[in-house]
Amino acid sequence: MEHYPDSHAEPGEETPPAGHRGRGIYILPNLFTAGNLFFGFYSILAGFGHRYREAALAILIAAVFDNLDGKIARLARATSAFGVEFDSLADLVSFGAAPALLVYNSDLFAYHRLGMAAAFLFLACGALRLARFNVMTTKISSKYFLGLPIPAGALVIVASELARTGPLSHVFSFPPGFFLLSTYLVSILMVSPFRYRSFKEARLLRRPMTTFVTVMILALSFVLYPTSSLFVGILLYAALGPTEYLLYRWGFRSPVGDPGEPLLGWMGGTVKRRGRIVRFRKPGPPRTR
């Protein structure tokens, strides 16, 4: 998978060399993927046991393993097609099935069929989000994700549950229907054509003082109010894609993108090429192999 940082490999990357050392290096990132899968499975068990905060924390730990497996694979030059597929299957459990069951067992069950439909839609859109990249023939820049990444979608549910049951629960007393509406919205964002910044190629050294102050403020807020900071941060990120698109459309920001890339994925858009604004027509959907 290429659309978020936890993927093991990109097409065309080399597999590890033959031999015992190569096989050992190859296994290492997949052990982290297995850890991701384990905590997703544990979250499902905790959810069925009505230990919802524990289930949410398990998904959060799975996200840590998910972020590390791809980094380790690239550092060890142990990328492989097997790792990519294993990673996708683990993500479907940890960030698709586990949060869908968590939000259903903790809240959506009260809405009967409407709640069941919301939970299933989250799982289905997560699966589509993972599968869409596998069949895409045209890749967008690594600086962007096409649609809200499924780990981020899962973290919206996780952060909401942690905020509701955390030390500031009196502040996060969500209105009735909040989880139902947010589950539907996140599901749509995952399969939307909105582009989300990946921050993989962020040039932080251009403004060192601004970067330092920002990092210090974020670190302090996470130390003092971890669950609240996670909740606010992930909601802002989920809103980033449609917000930036609207700002571009309304002319409040310069529609700068990568040459040859539409701003809004498959919906077309405009980019700046050699100082001129170029409009792209809506391309057709990607073809399966």
Residue-level pLDDT at 139: 60
* H-helix segments, 76-207: 81-92, 98-106, 113-134, 150-165, 178-190
The answer to whether 117 and 125 have CB atoms below 8 angstroms apart is no
- Set out the domains of the chain in order of their start, with CATH numbers: 20-241 (1.20.120.1760)
141-196 pLDDT, tens digit per residue, is: 677 888 999 999 999 999 999 998 877 777 778 888 999 999 999 999 999 989 99
The answer to whether 194 and 265 have CB atoms below 8 angstroms apart is yes
Contacts of 58 (CB under 8 A, 6+ apart): 39, 40, 42, 43, 46, 98
Confidence band for 36, pLDDT divided at 50, 70 and 90: very high
Distinct helix (H) and strand (E) counts, the chain = 9, 4
Strands 195-197 and 144-146: antiparallel
Distance CA 254, CA 69 (A): 36
Q: What is the pTM of this model?
A: 0.77
pLDDT higher than threshold 60 for residue 262: no
- C-alpha distances (whole Å) from 115 to each of 55, 121, 176, 183, 258 are 19, 10, 13, 9, 40
Q: Residue 241 has which token pair? A: 């894609």
The answer to whether 83 and 30 have CB atoms below 8 angstroms apart is yes
What is the rounded average pLDDT for all residues in the chain?
79
pLDDT higher than threshold 70 for residue 116: yes
